[in-house]
Amino acid sequence: MRFPASRAGGFVKHHRVARVAEVIREVASETILFKISDPRVRNVTVTRVEVSADLQHAKVHVSIMGTPARQKKALAGLQSAAGFVQAQLGDRMRTRYTPTLRFMLDNGIKQSVEISRLINEALGKPSDAADADLSDQDEDDDDLEEGEDGDAGGGDPGAPDGDSRSAGH
């Protein structure tokens, strides 16, 4: 089945934009993680990339863990390193133009964590208490395993551990 030219071209163009966005996400992530030495740029995760239809501009959405002041500093560090990230991108992409990058704060992960906390609170399951319960349960399991593994008494529950002497010796 053949698609009309305009429809097929739209699909190909959308597919190309998606491929370019994925390459930008990969290169930006690698560059931020391994090549940027700015101390402000820490705990940064590239969450998604939006690319304009003409491939000239890209919004790089990042999640930054920390206080709002820390996030602001990290975002400023990323903006100052945007040219370096673009150069890395230009080395990797084989296109006529390298998209101009703009870094934007993505609060999606932070909002997800907050929503989870609120749900747990509403259900009466504070996350700290849940973690403490799990660690207590793990310790109880360890005690059981030690009792089973440490039983060297030859299977006689009345005999002292390690006493393998027989009555006739």
Is residue 46 within a helix (H) or strand (E), and if so which, with residue range?
Answer: strand 44-51
Given the DSSP bridges, would you call strands 100-105 and 57-64 parallel, antiparallel or unpaired?
parallel
Q: For residue 144, what pLDDT is reported?
A: 42
Are 125 and 60 in a shared domain? no
The boundaries of the domain holding residue 121 are 116-147
Whether 154 is covered by a domain: the verdict is no
Q: For residue 56, what pLDDT is reported?
A: 96
Give the total number of structural domains in the chain.
2
Are 101 and 120 in a shared domain? no
Are 85 and 20 in a shared domain? yes
**49-93 residue pLDDT tens:** 999 999 999 999 999 989 999 999 999 999 999 999 999 999 999
Whether 57 is covered by a domain: the verdict is yes
Are 9 and 67 in a shared domain? yes
Whether 126 is covered by a domain: the verdict is yes
Q: For residue 152, what pLDDT is reported?
A: 46
Whether 87 is covered by a domain: the verdict is yes
**118-146 residue pLDDT tens:** 999 999 876 654 444 444 444 444 444 44
Enter the tokens of residue 46: 């590239």
Whether 159 is covered by a domain: the verdict is no
Are 14 and 94 in a shared domain? yes
Q: For residue 83, what pLDDT is reported?
A: 96
Q: Which of 9-18, 54-63, 80-89, 94-103 is least confident?
A: 9-18
Domain CATH for 25: 3.30.300.20
Q: Which of the two residues, 18 and 127, has the higher pLDDT score? A: 18
Whether 153 is covered by a domain: the verdict is no
Q: Which residues contact 65 (CB under 8 A, 6 or more apart)?
A: 43
Are 35 and 95 in a shared domain? yes
Q: Quick check: helix, strand or coil at residue 54?
A: coil
Whether 52 is covered by a domain: the verdict is yes
The strand ranges marked E within 70-129 are: 100-105
Residue 7 pLDDT > 70: no
- In the chain, what are the helix, strand and coil shares in percent, each to the nearest 5? 55, 15, 35
Are 58 and 135 in a shared domain? no
CB contact at 8 A, 101 and 28: yes
Q: For residue 104, what pLDDT is reported?
A: 97
Separation of alpha carbons 119 and 131, rounded Å: 16
- Please identify, among 106, 139, 158, the residue that sits at the C-terminal boundary of a domain: 106
Are 40 and 82 in a shared domain? yes
What's the pLDDT band for 1 if we cut at 50, 70, 90? very low
